[in-house]
Amino acid sequence: VMPHQTSLGGDAFWLIYTAASGQLIGLNASGRSPYGLSLETLRAKNLVEMPVRGPLPITVPGAVAGWDTALASHGTMPLARVLAPAIEYAENGFPLNVELVKAIAQYEDELASFQSWRDTFLPQGRRPAVGERFRQPQLAQTLRLLAQDGVSTFYRGEIAQKIVDCVQRAGGMLAAQDLAEHYVEWVAPLSTTYRGHTIYEMPPNSRGAIALAALNILEGVEVASAGFQTAAMAHLLLEAYRLAAAQLEPACSDPDFSGIGSAVLDRLISKEFAGQLRSQLALDQATPFAPETGTNTIYLAVVDGRGNAVSLIESSYYTFGSGLVVEEAGFVLQNRGGHFSLDPTSPNRLAPHKRTLHTLMPAMAFRDGRPWLVFGSMGGTGQAQTQLQLLTNIIDFGLNVQQAIEAPRWVKGATLAGQLNDDLRIENRLPETTQRALTAMGYRLARLGDWSDRTGQAHAILIDQAEHMLHGAADPRSEGLAAGW
Protein backbone atom coordinates (compact mmCIF):
# COMPACT_ATOMS: atom_id res chain seq x y z
CA VAL A 1 0.00 0.00 0.00
CA MET A 2 3.09 2.27 -0.15
CA PRO A 3 4.38 1.43 -3.65
CA HIS A 4 6.07 4.81 -4.01
CA GLN A 5 8.30 4.13 -1.01
CA THR A 6 9.19 0.46 -1.26
CA SER A 7 8.53 -2.54 -3.47
CA LEU A 8 9.73 -5.97 -4.49
CA GLY A 9 12.34 -4.03 -6.45
CA GLY A 10 14.08 -2.54 -3.39
CA ASP A 11 16.58 -3.42 -0.65
CA ALA A 12 16.22 -4.26 3.05
CA PHE A 13 18.23 -4.44 6.26
CA TRP A 14 17.13 -6.45 9.31
CA LEU A 15 18.06 -6.69 12.98
CA ILE A 16 16.52 -9.85 14.47
CA TYR A 17 16.51 -10.73 18.18
CA THR A 18 15.60 -14.26 19.30
CA ALA A 19 14.48 -14.34 22.92
CA ALA A 20 15.06 -18.08 23.43
CA SER A 21 18.76 -17.83 22.59
CA GLY A 22 19.33 -14.18 23.49
CA GLN A 23 20.96 -13.72 20.07
CA LEU A 24 20.84 -10.54 18.01
CA ILE A 25 21.86 -10.85 14.37
CA GLY A 26 21.75 -8.64 11.30
CA LEU A 27 20.66 -9.53 7.78
CA ASN A 28 22.02 -7.47 4.90
CA ALA A 29 19.62 -7.82 1.98
CA SER A 30 21.03 -5.09 -0.25
CA GLY A 31 21.73 -5.74 -3.91
CA ARG A 32 24.83 -5.22 -6.01
CA SER A 33 25.50 -3.27 -9.18
CA PRO A 34 25.42 -5.06 -12.54
CA TYR A 35 28.60 -6.73 -13.74
CA GLY A 36 28.28 -4.67 -16.91
CA LEU A 37 28.22 -1.29 -15.14
CA SER A 38 31.52 0.48 -14.47
CA LEU A 39 33.14 3.90 -14.42
CA GLU A 40 34.37 3.24 -17.93
CA THR A 41 30.87 2.33 -19.12
CA LEU A 42 29.46 5.63 -17.94
CA ARG A 43 32.42 7.67 -19.15
CA ALA A 44 31.75 6.23 -22.60
CA LYS A 45 28.26 7.70 -22.27
CA ASN A 46 29.82 11.11 -21.39
CA LEU A 47 28.33 11.01 -17.89
CA VAL A 48 30.11 12.88 -15.08
CA GLU A 49 27.52 12.13 -12.38
CA MET A 50 25.63 8.96 -11.59
CA PRO A 51 22.08 9.15 -12.99
CA VAL A 52 19.33 8.90 -10.39
CA ARG A 53 16.40 7.92 -12.63
CA GLY A 54 15.98 5.49 -15.47
CA PRO A 55 17.73 2.16 -16.10
CA LEU A 56 21.37 2.95 -15.25
CA PRO A 57 21.07 3.32 -11.43
CA ILE A 58 19.10 0.07 -11.08
CA THR A 59 20.86 -2.46 -8.86
CA VAL A 60 19.80 -6.01 -8.00
CA PRO A 61 16.67 -5.92 -5.80
CA GLY A 62 17.76 -7.52 -2.54
CA ALA A 63 14.66 -7.34 -0.35
CA VAL A 64 12.83 -10.43 -1.66
CA ALA A 65 15.80 -12.71 -0.92
CA GLY A 66 15.92 -11.15 2.54
CA TRP A 67 12.27 -12.01 3.18
CA ASP A 68 12.91 -15.61 2.19
CA THR A 69 16.05 -15.96 4.30
CA ALA A 70 14.53 -14.37 7.40
CA LEU A 71 11.38 -16.48 7.07
CA ALA A 72 13.33 -19.71 6.63
CA SER A 73 15.50 -19.12 9.68
CA HIS A 74 13.17 -17.31 12.08
CA GLY A 75 9.63 -17.55 10.69
CA THR A 76 6.64 -19.64 11.72
CA MET A 77 4.51 -19.42 8.56
CA PRO A 78 4.98 -20.47 4.92
CA LEU A 79 5.67 -17.77 2.35
CA ALA A 80 2.26 -18.22 0.74
CA ARG A 81 0.49 -17.36 3.99
CA VAL A 82 2.73 -14.36 4.60
CA LEU A 83 2.02 -12.99 1.13
CA ALA A 84 -1.75 -13.62 1.24
CA PRO A 85 -2.75 -10.19 2.66
CA ALA A 86 -0.52 -8.41 0.14
CA ILE A 87 -2.09 -10.38 -2.71
CA GLU A 88 -5.53 -9.39 -1.43
CA TYR A 89 -4.67 -5.68 -1.37
CA ALA A 90 -3.02 -5.81 -4.78
CA GLU A 91 -5.89 -7.72 -6.41
CA ASN A 92 -8.88 -5.99 -4.85
CA GLY A 93 -7.25 -2.64 -4.18
CA PHE A 94 -7.25 -0.20 -1.30
CA PRO A 95 -8.42 3.41 -0.87
CA LEU A 96 -5.60 5.70 -1.94
CA ASN A 97 -4.01 7.57 0.95
CA VAL A 98 -3.03 11.22 0.89
CA GLU A 99 0.72 10.55 0.76
CA LEU A 100 0.57 8.32 -2.31
CA VAL A 101 -1.67 10.74 -4.20
CA LYS A 102 0.65 13.62 -3.29
CA ALA A 103 3.66 11.64 -4.50
CA ILE A 104 2.00 10.86 -7.84
CA ALA A 105 1.19 14.54 -8.33
CA GLN A 106 4.65 15.69 -7.28
CA TYR A 107 6.57 13.34 -9.56
CA GLU A 108 4.17 13.04 -12.50
CA ASP A 109 6.07 15.48 -14.73
CA GLU A 110 9.42 13.85 -13.96
CA LEU A 111 8.31 10.24 -14.43
CA ALA A 112 5.60 10.44 -17.07
CA SER A 113 8.17 9.63 -19.76
CA PHE A 114 8.23 6.06 -18.41
CA GLN A 115 5.27 4.28 -20.02
CA SER A 116 5.14 1.54 -17.39
CA TRP A 117 5.01 4.15 -14.62
CA ARG A 118 2.13 5.96 -16.34
CA ASP A 119 0.24 2.70 -16.86
CA THR A 120 0.58 1.84 -13.16
CA PHE A 121 0.10 5.15 -11.37
CA LEU A 122 -2.02 7.12 -13.85
CA PRO A 123 -4.84 4.62 -14.54
CA GLN A 124 -6.99 5.59 -17.51
CA GLY A 125 -4.46 8.33 -18.17
CA ARG A 126 -5.44 10.49 -15.21
CA ARG A 127 -4.17 11.24 -11.73
CA PRO A 128 -6.17 9.23 -9.15
CA ALA A 129 -7.91 10.91 -6.21
CA VAL A 130 -7.64 10.36 -2.47
CA GLY A 131 -9.97 7.55 -1.42
CA GLU A 132 -10.20 6.06 -4.90
CA ARG A 133 -9.66 2.29 -4.97
CA PHE A 134 -6.20 1.52 -6.35
CA ARG A 135 -5.75 -1.94 -7.86
CA GLN A 136 -2.49 -3.59 -8.94
CA PRO A 137 -3.48 -6.82 -10.74
CA GLN A 138 -0.05 -7.40 -12.27
CA LEU A 139 1.57 -7.13 -8.84
CA ALA A 140 -1.01 -9.57 -7.47
CA GLN A 141 -0.02 -12.09 -10.13
CA THR A 142 3.67 -11.60 -9.32
CA LEU A 143 3.01 -12.22 -5.63
CA ARG A 144 1.00 -15.35 -6.46
CA LEU A 145 3.92 -16.62 -8.52
CA LEU A 146 6.25 -16.03 -5.57
CA ALA A 147 3.86 -17.85 -3.25
CA GLN A 148 3.57 -20.78 -5.65
CA ASP A 149 7.12 -21.19 -6.97
CA GLY A 150 9.20 -19.58 -4.24
CA VAL A 151 11.78 -16.85 -4.37
CA SER A 152 13.88 -18.65 -6.98
CA THR A 153 11.48 -17.40 -9.66
CA PHE A 154 12.39 -13.83 -8.73
CA TYR A 155 16.12 -14.33 -9.26
CA ARG A 156 16.35 -17.18 -11.76
CA GLY A 157 12.90 -17.72 -13.24
CA GLU A 158 9.95 -16.01 -14.84
CA ILE A 159 10.03 -12.83 -12.76
CA ALA A 160 13.80 -12.50 -13.22
CA GLN A 161 13.34 -12.57 -16.99
CA LYS A 162 10.71 -9.83 -16.80
CA ILE A 163 13.09 -7.67 -14.74
CA VAL A 164 15.96 -8.16 -17.17
CA ASP A 165 13.76 -7.48 -20.20
CA CYS A 166 12.44 -4.28 -18.61
CA VAL A 167 15.87 -2.89 -17.74
CA GLN A 168 17.62 -3.83 -20.97
CA ARG A 169 14.77 -2.57 -23.13
CA ALA A 170 15.25 0.81 -21.44
CA GLY A 171 19.01 0.76 -22.04
CA GLY A 172 20.22 -0.55 -18.69
CA MET A 173 22.92 -3.07 -17.81
CA LEU A 174 21.21 -5.45 -15.37
CA ALA A 175 21.50 -9.02 -16.69
CA ALA A 176 20.31 -12.50 -15.76
CA GLN A 177 23.68 -13.31 -14.18
CA ASP A 178 23.38 -10.35 -11.80
CA LEU A 179 20.07 -11.62 -10.46
CA ALA A 180 21.07 -15.30 -10.39
CA GLU A 181 24.20 -14.62 -8.33
CA HIS A 182 22.51 -12.41 -5.74
CA TYR A 183 22.88 -13.46 -2.11
CA VAL A 184 22.14 -11.95 1.28
CA GLU A 185 24.49 -11.98 4.26
CA TRP A 186 24.07 -12.65 7.96
CA VAL A 187 26.23 -10.11 9.79
CA ALA A 188 27.21 -9.27 13.36
CA PRO A 189 25.72 -5.92 14.41
CA LEU A 190 28.01 -3.11 15.55
CA SER A 191 27.46 -1.63 19.00
CA THR A 192 28.46 0.98 21.52
CA THR A 193 27.18 2.05 24.93
CA TYR A 194 25.42 5.30 25.76
CA ARG A 195 24.63 6.17 29.39
CA GLY A 196 23.99 2.58 30.44
CA HIS A 197 22.35 1.42 27.21
CA THR A 198 23.87 -0.69 24.44
CA ILE A 199 22.99 0.60 20.98
CA TYR A 200 23.15 -1.78 18.01
CA GLU A 201 23.40 -0.80 14.34
CA MET A 202 24.09 -2.57 11.05
CA PRO A 203 27.71 -2.73 9.82
CA PRO A 204 28.82 -1.41 6.40
CA ASN A 205 27.57 -0.99 3.75
CA SER A 206 25.00 0.62 6.10
CA ARG A 207 25.74 4.01 7.67
CA GLY A 208 24.86 2.68 11.12
CA ALA A 209 28.41 3.15 12.42
CA ILE A 210 28.01 6.92 12.03
CA ALA A 211 25.24 7.00 14.64
CA LEU A 212 27.37 4.97 17.06
CA ALA A 213 30.36 7.28 16.66
CA ALA A 214 28.15 10.34 17.19
CA LEU A 215 26.72 8.82 20.39
CA ASN A 216 30.25 8.20 21.64
CA ILE A 217 31.03 11.89 21.13
CA LEU A 218 27.85 12.95 22.92
CA GLU A 219 28.44 10.64 25.88
CA GLY A 220 31.36 12.81 26.96
CA VAL A 221 29.15 15.92 27.02
CA GLU A 222 26.37 16.88 29.45
CA VAL A 223 23.65 16.96 26.82
CA ALA A 224 20.88 17.47 29.39
CA SER A 225 22.59 20.58 30.76
CA ALA A 226 22.27 22.21 27.34
CA GLY A 227 18.49 22.28 27.84
CA PHE A 228 15.72 20.59 25.89
CA GLN A 229 15.07 22.00 22.39
CA THR A 230 17.62 24.79 22.87
CA ALA A 231 20.07 25.97 20.25
CA ALA A 232 22.88 24.57 22.38
CA MET A 233 21.27 21.11 22.35
CA ALA A 234 20.61 21.15 18.62
CA HIS A 235 24.12 22.39 17.89
CA LEU A 236 25.70 19.65 20.03
CA LEU A 237 23.84 16.92 18.18
CA LEU A 238 24.58 18.47 14.80
CA GLU A 239 28.29 18.82 15.57
CA ALA A 240 28.55 15.26 16.88
CA TYR A 241 26.91 13.99 13.73
CA ARG A 242 29.07 16.17 11.46
CA LEU A 243 32.32 14.95 13.00
CA ALA A 244 31.21 11.31 13.01
CA ALA A 245 29.99 11.39 9.41
CA ALA A 246 33.17 13.02 8.13
CA GLN A 247 35.32 10.28 9.66
CA LEU A 248 33.06 7.24 9.33
CA GLU A 249 31.38 7.67 5.95
CA PRO A 250 34.47 6.60 3.94
CA ALA A 251 34.56 3.43 6.05
CA CYS A 252 30.89 2.59 5.46
CA SER A 253 31.14 1.62 1.80
CA ASP A 254 31.02 -2.01 0.64
CA PRO A 255 33.56 -3.90 2.81
CA ASP A 256 34.23 -6.31 -0.07
CA PHE A 257 35.84 -3.37 -1.89
CA SER A 258 36.95 -0.90 0.80
CA GLY A 259 39.63 -3.06 2.37
CA ILE A 260 38.57 -1.70 5.77
CA GLY A 261 38.53 -4.55 8.24
CA SER A 262 36.81 -4.96 11.59
CA ALA A 263 39.85 -3.73 13.53
CA VAL A 264 39.76 -0.34 11.79
CA LEU A 265 35.99 -0.08 12.17
CA ASP A 266 36.20 -0.98 15.86
CA ARG A 267 38.71 1.83 16.37
CA LEU A 268 36.47 4.34 14.58
CA ILE A 269 33.52 3.53 16.89
CA SER A 270 35.67 3.38 20.03
CA LYS A 271 35.39 5.71 23.02
CA GLU A 272 39.04 6.68 22.58
CA PHE A 273 38.55 7.86 19.01
CA ALA A 274 35.38 9.71 20.06
CA GLY A 275 37.50 11.61 22.59
CA GLN A 276 39.74 12.83 19.78
CA LEU A 277 36.74 13.95 17.75
CA ARG A 278 35.11 15.59 20.77
CA SER A 279 38.06 17.95 21.05
CA GLN A 280 37.14 19.25 17.58
CA LEU A 281 33.59 20.28 18.50
CA ALA A 282 32.87 23.82 17.32
CA LEU A 283 30.80 24.89 20.30
CA ASP A 284 29.64 28.33 19.20
CA GLN A 285 29.26 28.37 15.44
CA ALA A 286 27.74 26.41 12.58
CA THR A 287 30.04 24.33 10.39
CA PRO A 288 29.25 23.24 6.81
CA PHE A 289 28.20 19.65 6.20
CA ALA A 290 29.27 17.48 3.31
CA PRO A 291 26.59 16.99 0.59
CA GLU A 292 24.07 14.27 1.37
CA THR A 293 21.34 12.38 -0.39
CA GLY A 294 17.73 11.42 0.21
CA THR A 295 15.44 8.46 -0.03
CA ASN A 296 11.96 7.08 0.30
CA THR A 297 11.61 4.21 2.66
CA ILE A 298 9.42 2.27 5.07
CA TYR A 299 10.35 1.11 8.59
CA LEU A 300 8.82 -1.62 10.80
CA ALA A 301 9.42 -2.38 14.48
CA VAL A 302 7.89 -5.63 15.77
CA VAL A 303 7.96 -7.35 19.18
CA ASP A 304 5.96 -10.52 19.89
CA GLY A 305 4.64 -12.10 23.07
CA ARG A 306 7.73 -14.28 23.48
CA GLY A 307 10.05 -11.29 23.45
CA ASN A 308 11.36 -11.79 19.92
CA ALA A 309 12.03 -8.49 18.15
CA VAL A 310 12.67 -7.24 14.62
CA SER A 311 13.90 -3.88 13.39
CA LEU A 312 13.38 -3.81 9.61
CA ILE A 313 13.85 -1.09 7.02
CA GLU A 314 13.12 -1.36 3.29
CA SER A 315 13.42 1.13 0.47
CA SER A 316 13.33 1.78 -3.25
CA TYR A 317 15.66 4.76 -2.53
CA TYR A 318 14.02 7.74 -4.31
CA THR A 319 10.26 8.16 -4.38
CA PHE A 320 9.18 5.66 -7.07
CA GLY A 321 12.78 4.45 -7.28
CA SER A 322 14.20 4.45 -10.80
CA GLY A 323 10.81 5.33 -12.27
CA LEU A 324 10.74 2.01 -14.14
CA VAL A 325 7.89 -0.37 -13.33
CA VAL A 326 8.48 -3.94 -14.49
CA GLU A 327 6.00 -4.60 -17.27
CA GLU A 328 3.53 -7.41 -16.52
CA ALA A 329 4.94 -7.63 -12.98
CA GLY A 330 3.70 -4.37 -11.47
CA PHE A 331 6.52 -3.23 -9.18
CA VAL A 332 8.99 -0.35 -9.21
CA LEU A 333 12.71 -1.06 -9.53
CA GLN A 334 14.95 0.82 -7.11
CA ASN A 335 17.57 3.38 -8.15
CA ARG A 336 19.98 2.60 -5.32
CA GLY A 337 22.90 2.79 -7.73
CA GLY A 338 22.28 6.53 -7.90
CA HIS A 339 24.16 6.77 -4.60
CA PHE A 340 27.43 5.61 -6.20
CA SER A 341 30.13 8.18 -6.94
CA LEU A 342 31.82 8.51 -10.33
CA ASP A 343 34.88 10.00 -8.64
CA PRO A 344 37.57 7.31 -9.06
CA THR A 345 39.13 8.31 -5.70
CA SER A 346 35.90 7.90 -3.70
CA PRO A 347 35.54 4.83 -1.45
CA ASN A 348 31.97 4.67 -2.74
CA ARG A 349 32.99 4.78 -6.41
CA LEU A 350 31.01 2.69 -8.86
CA ALA A 351 32.36 -0.76 -9.67
CA PRO A 352 30.81 -3.94 -11.09
CA HIS A 353 29.04 -6.25 -8.59
CA LYS A 354 29.40 -3.74 -5.74
CA ARG A 355 26.98 -2.62 -3.03
CA THR A 356 26.70 1.13 -2.68
CA LEU A 357 26.99 2.96 0.62
CA HIS A 358 23.50 2.54 2.06
CA THR A 359 21.32 4.99 3.96
CA LEU A 360 19.22 2.23 5.59
CA MET A 361 20.00 1.69 9.29
CA PRO A 362 17.57 -0.21 11.53
CA ALA A 363 18.51 -0.07 15.20
CA MET A 364 17.91 -1.57 18.63
CA ALA A 365 18.91 -0.48 22.11
CA PHE A 366 19.40 -2.93 24.98
CA ARG A 367 19.21 -2.33 28.72
CA ASP A 368 20.56 -4.92 31.16
CA GLY A 369 21.30 -7.28 28.29
CA ARG A 370 17.76 -7.34 26.89
CA PRO A 371 15.96 -5.35 24.17
CA TRP A 372 14.69 -2.02 25.46
CA LEU A 373 14.01 0.04 22.34
CA VAL A 374 13.36 -1.19 18.79
CA PHE A 375 13.59 1.85 16.52
CA GLY A 376 14.38 3.34 13.16
CA SER A 377 13.42 6.10 10.79
CA MET A 378 12.88 6.82 7.14
CA GLY A 379 14.73 9.85 5.84
CA GLY A 380 17.80 9.05 3.76
CA THR A 381 21.10 10.18 5.20
CA GLY A 382 19.07 12.13 7.76
CA GLN A 383 18.28 8.83 9.51
CA ALA A 384 21.28 9.07 11.83
CA GLN A 385 20.34 12.63 12.84
CA THR A 386 16.78 11.51 13.61
CA GLN A 387 18.05 8.56 15.66
CA LEU A 388 20.28 10.84 17.74
CA GLN A 389 17.35 13.12 18.53
CA LEU A 390 15.10 10.20 19.44
CA LEU A 391 17.65 8.60 21.78
CA THR A 392 18.67 11.81 23.55
CA ASN A 393 15.02 12.83 23.94
CA ILE A 394 14.37 9.60 25.83
CA ILE A 395 17.66 8.96 27.63
CA ASP A 396 18.89 12.48 28.39
CA PHE A 397 15.61 14.36 28.72
CA GLY A 398 13.26 11.66 30.03
CA LEU A 399 10.53 11.88 27.39
CA ASN A 400 8.32 8.88 26.78
CA VAL A 401 8.72 7.23 23.40
CA GLN A 402 5.73 8.96 21.76
CA GLN A 403 6.78 12.37 23.07
CA ALA A 404 10.31 11.72 21.83
CA ILE A 405 9.06 11.03 18.31
CA GLU A 406 6.63 13.96 18.25
CA ALA A 407 9.14 16.55 19.53
CA PRO A 408 10.03 19.30 17.02
CA ARG A 409 12.84 18.06 14.83
CA TRP A 410 15.60 19.30 12.56
CA VAL A 411 17.82 17.80 9.85
CA LYS A 412 20.82 19.45 8.23
CA GLY A 413 22.15 18.88 4.72
CA ALA A 414 20.90 18.23 1.21
CA THR A 415 18.04 15.82 0.53
CA LEU A 416 18.69 14.71 -3.05
CA ALA A 417 21.74 13.41 -4.88
CA GLY A 418 23.74 16.17 -6.53
CA GLN A 419 22.40 18.94 -4.31
CA LEU A 420 24.76 21.14 -2.31
CA ASN A 421 22.12 22.43 0.09
CA ASP A 422 23.51 23.01 3.57
CA ASP A 423 20.33 24.42 5.12
CA LEU A 424 19.23 23.44 8.60
CA ARG A 425 15.67 22.29 7.96
CA ILE A 426 13.52 22.83 11.04
CA GLU A 427 9.92 22.42 12.08
CA ASN A 428 8.23 25.68 13.06
CA ARG A 429 7.30 24.25 16.47
CA LEU A 430 10.94 24.62 17.51
CA PRO A 431 10.94 27.52 20.03
CA GLU A 432 11.42 30.94 18.46
CA THR A 433 14.26 31.68 20.86
CA THR A 434 16.02 28.55 19.61
CA GLN A 435 15.51 29.56 16.00
CA ARG A 436 16.97 33.02 16.60
CA ALA A 437 19.95 31.59 18.47
CA LEU A 438 20.68 29.08 15.70
CA THR A 439 20.59 31.87 13.13
CA ALA A 440 23.01 33.89 15.26
CA MET A 441 25.36 30.88 15.31
CA GLY A 442 25.48 30.93 11.52
CA TYR A 443 22.88 28.32 10.58
CA ARG A 444 20.78 29.05 7.50
CA LEU A 445 17.30 27.95 8.52
CA ALA A 446 14.71 26.46 6.19
CA ARG A 447 11.34 26.37 7.94
CA LEU A 448 9.19 23.43 6.88
CA GLY A 449 5.92 23.98 8.72
CA ASP A 450 4.84 22.59 12.07
CA TRP A 451 5.23 18.95 11.00
CA SER A 452 7.39 17.75 8.11
CA ASP A 453 8.31 14.28 6.90
CA ARG A 454 11.51 15.84 5.55
CA THR A 455 12.85 15.66 9.11
CA GLY A 456 12.43 11.88 9.14
CA GLN A 457 9.60 9.50 9.94
CA ALA A 458 10.46 7.53 13.05
CA HIS A 459 8.73 4.56 14.67
CA ALA A 460 9.64 2.67 17.82
CA ILE A 461 8.62 0.14 20.44
CA LEU A 462 9.87 0.64 23.99
CA ILE A 463 9.94 -2.58 26.02
CA ASP A 464 9.34 -2.20 29.75
CA GLN A 465 10.74 -5.51 31.02
CA ALA A 466 9.80 -4.82 34.65
CA GLU A 467 6.13 -4.14 33.90
CA HIS A 468 5.94 -6.56 30.93
CA MET A 469 4.58 -3.72 28.81
CA LEU A 470 5.19 -2.70 25.21
CA HIS A 471 4.92 0.99 24.36
CA GLY A 472 4.48 1.49 20.61
CA ALA A 473 4.96 4.90 19.04
CA ALA A 474 4.31 6.08 15.49
CA ASP A 475 5.34 9.32 13.83
CA PRO A 476 2.52 11.74 12.96
CA ARG A 477 4.72 12.83 10.06
CA SER A 478 3.99 9.56 8.27
CA GLU A 479 1.14 7.16 7.48
CA GLY A 480 2.28 4.70 10.16
CA LEU A 481 0.60 3.58 13.35
CA ALA A 482 1.28 1.60 16.52
CA ALA A 483 -0.86 -1.54 16.81
CA GLY A 484 -1.04 -4.38 19.33
CA TRP A 485 -2.97 -7.66 19.28
Per DSSP, the three-state class of 318 is: coil
d(CA 325, CA 123): 14
Buried/exposed code over 181-220 (b: 16+ C-beta within 10 A; e: otherwise): ebebbebebbbbebeebbbbbbbbbbbbbbbbbbbbbbbe
Task: Residue 95: name the closest of 180, 197, 195, 1 by CA.
Answer: 1
Q: Quick one: CA torsion of 336, 338, 344, 347, rounded to 10 degrees?
A: -40
- The answer to whether 322 and 337 have CB atoms below 8 angstroms apart is no
In angstroms, the CA 238 to CA 464 distance is 30
- What is the DSSP track for 162-195? HHHHHHHHTT----HHHHHT---EEEPPEEEEET
DSSP line for 88-110: HHHHH-EEPPHHHHHHHHHHHHH
- For residue 444, CA distances in Å to 243, 277, 417, 450 come to 19, 24, 20, 18
Q: In what order do the strands lie in the sheet with 11-18?
A: 185-187, 23-29, 11-18, 309-317, 296-303
Cβ atoms 235, 201 nearer than 8 A: no
Distance of CA 388 to the CA centre of its chain: 15
* H-run or E-run covering 453: none
Residue 153 annotated in active site: no
User: Which burial class, exposed, middle or buried, applies to 267 when counting CB atoms under 10 A from its CB (0-12, 13-18, 19+)?
Assistant: exposed
Q: Which of 69, 297, 319, 386 is catalytic?
A: 297
End-to-end C-alpha distance for the chain, whole angstroms: 21
Give catalytic residues, as residue numbers.
297
